[in-house]
């Protein structure tokens, strides 16, 4: 995406000489909680995974963020720290808003409104996903995930880790559910990581409450 197409361009155009645009390679952590990085980034191209790490080393998925969204240690703006790390899961092109520049920009009511709207919207989505994993059983969640990620009647996945991270279930439970779907003829396996949905009606009924919850809007 070109810089001038960014939602925040009208608010930063007068400061553009003092705002660097950086490239980040896929697989790079570019904003780490322990570094006390107070820079805010705006995504022009690519996708970011935000995760938090517990004292025991367990990684917890916080959010996925893509183009035209803010990234980095956003919680610092609210005088807090979510201890979150930002990982480039594709190559990234980022607008880098240093701490001093953010202080200048936040004095503009229009920019601050855009900033708070975008970041609070992300928090709402994160909260809704957290509720999802507690409101519905794991069979319902897996059924929903399969249907949402089907192309035609084909469900293909590359990383079980990513699926389990998003659904907040163990790999063992995921495979138990998938094997049960295989045993009862709900899906058939074509090759490893590729499945064909045979009983679409069953999956739709199982996932209906999850879909209704996630798609619900005023």
Q: How far apart are CA 142 and CA 169, in angstroms?
A: 9
The mean pLDDT of 192-201, rounded to a whole number, is: 90
Q: How far apart are CA 81 and CA 150, in angstroms?
A: 37
Q: How far apart are CA 117 and CA 146, in angstroms?
A: 31
pLDDT at residue 218 above 60? no
Beta-bridge mates of residue 31: 86
Give the domain ranges of the chain: 3-133, 136-215
pLDDT value at position 59?
78
With tokens 């880790």, the residue in question is 161
Per-residue pLDDT of 158-182, as tens digits, reads: 889 889 988 989 999 999 999 999 9
Measuring CA to CA, which residue among 178, 211, 210, 207 is closest to residue 195? 178
Q: How far apart are CA 72 and CA 12, in angstroms?
A: 18
Least confident of 34-38, 86-90, 114-118, 200-204: 34-38
The mean pLDDT of 195-199, rounded to a whole number, is: 95
The token pair that represents 47 in the structure block: 């996708």
- Which of 54-63, 122-131, 159-168, 174-183 tops mean pLDDT? 174-183
pTM for this structure? 0.76
Mean pLDDT of the chain: 90
Dmax (CA) for the chain in angstroms is 62
What CATH number does the domain located at 136-215 have? 1.10.10.10
Domain formed by 3-133, architecture = Sandwich (2.60)
pLDDT value at position 107?
95
CA distances to 10, 111, 114, 117, 204 from 49, rounded to whole Å, are 27, 24, 22, 20, 29
Measuring CA to CA, which residue among 209, 201, 198 is closest to residue 155? 198
**Do residues 63 and 125 make contact, with C-beta atoms less than 8 angstroms apart?**
yes
Secondary structure of residue 187 in the 3-state scheme: strand
């Amino acid at each position: 995406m070109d810089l001038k197409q960014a939602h925040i361009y009208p608010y930063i155009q007068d400061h553009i000489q003092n705002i660097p645009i950086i490239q980040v390679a896929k697989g790079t952590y570019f904003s780490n909680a322990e570094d006390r990085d107070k820079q805010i980034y705006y995504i022009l191209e690519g996708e970011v995974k935000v995760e938090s790490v517990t004292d025991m080393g367990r990684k917890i998925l916080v959010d996925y963020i893509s183009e035209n969204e803010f990234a980095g240690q956003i919680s610092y703006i609210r005088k807090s720290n979510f201890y979150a790390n930002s990982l480039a899961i594709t190559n990234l092109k980022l607008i880098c808003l240093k701490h001093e520049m953010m202080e200048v920009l936040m004095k503009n009511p229009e920019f601050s409104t855009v900033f708070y709207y975008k970041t609070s919207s992300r928090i709402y989505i994160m909260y809704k996903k957290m509720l999802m994993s507690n409101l519905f059983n794991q069979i319902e969640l897996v059924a929903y995930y399969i249907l949402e990620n089907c192309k035609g009647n084909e469900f293909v996945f590359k990383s079980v880790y990513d699926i389990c991270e998003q659904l907040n279930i163990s790999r063992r439970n995921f495979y138990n559910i998938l094997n049960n779907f295989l045993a009862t003829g709900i899906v058939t396996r074509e090759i490893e990581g590729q499945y064909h949905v045979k009983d679409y009606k069953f999956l739709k009924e199982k996932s209906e409450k999850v879909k209704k919850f996630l798609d619900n809007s005023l």
